[in-house]
Amino acid sequence: MELWTWHEPDFSLLSGRVEHNRSEYYQRVPGIVAAYDELWHRLKNDGQLVWCCTDISEHGDLESSPHVLWKLDVPPDQILGFVDEIVWNRILGFRCSCQSLRYSWQSRAIEACCADRKPLDTELLTSMAQQYEDEFWNASPPGGSWWNALFLEPQAKPLVSALIRHPVPLEWVTENPNRTPHAISASTTLPCTSVSRKSRPA
């Protein structure tokens, strides 16, 4: 399965260990340590993991990031799980911003205004879109916990991550990052990053 992941230029997917003090995502998101502990428990894994994107069509500027893109072809039976990135952000209590969600809220606002024959006033549309966004993020979790909705069936689509073990075999790498002309910049605050349970900072 084709996957993408991006990291600091001197980080290797092929060897070494993951250093959390170099992960801005790991450091700045509240509750991340407890969430990863629960994630490892549910995966029954105590090694090192890499988050990979299954579809990068919603990721923005491909040229401005200092990070390096790794493109992989991973055997399906070597993928530990598929994660709904929206649900992961819900677990963290963190609102992410992505193109498809913003478009859906804006479209609902326009449809509601048209249905009520209201003029398409920019301020009104913005207010309504914000209302729909708040409703989305304030929704109640199924079965009382968002963990019940985190894992998905195997699929490749925006906002779905695949989890694999670190390090990865060389034969999985289909693009040599040393020869990749452009790195990738995420347009959303999603966890396409590396983490490790055992080498977590205190």
pLDDT per residue as tens, the chain (202 positions): 999 998 888 888 999 887 766 677 788 888 888 998 899 999 987 778 899 999 988 776 556 677 888 999 999 999 999 999 999 999 999 888 778 888 999 999 999 888 877 777 888 899 999 999 999 999 999 999 999 999 999 999 999 999 999 999 999 999 866 544 333 333 233 454 344 444 333 3
DSSP H stretches of helix in 44-149: 85-92, 99-115, 122-137
Range of the domain at 25: 2-95+151-196
- Whether 132 maps to a domain, the answer reads no
- Whether 119 maps to a domain, the answer reads no
- Whether 127 maps to a domain, the answer reads no
Residue 43 CB coordination number (10 Å): 16
- Whether 91 maps to a domain, the answer reads yes
How many independent structural domains does the chain possess? 1
- Whether 107 maps to a domain, the answer reads no
- Map residue 72 onto helix, strand or coil: strand
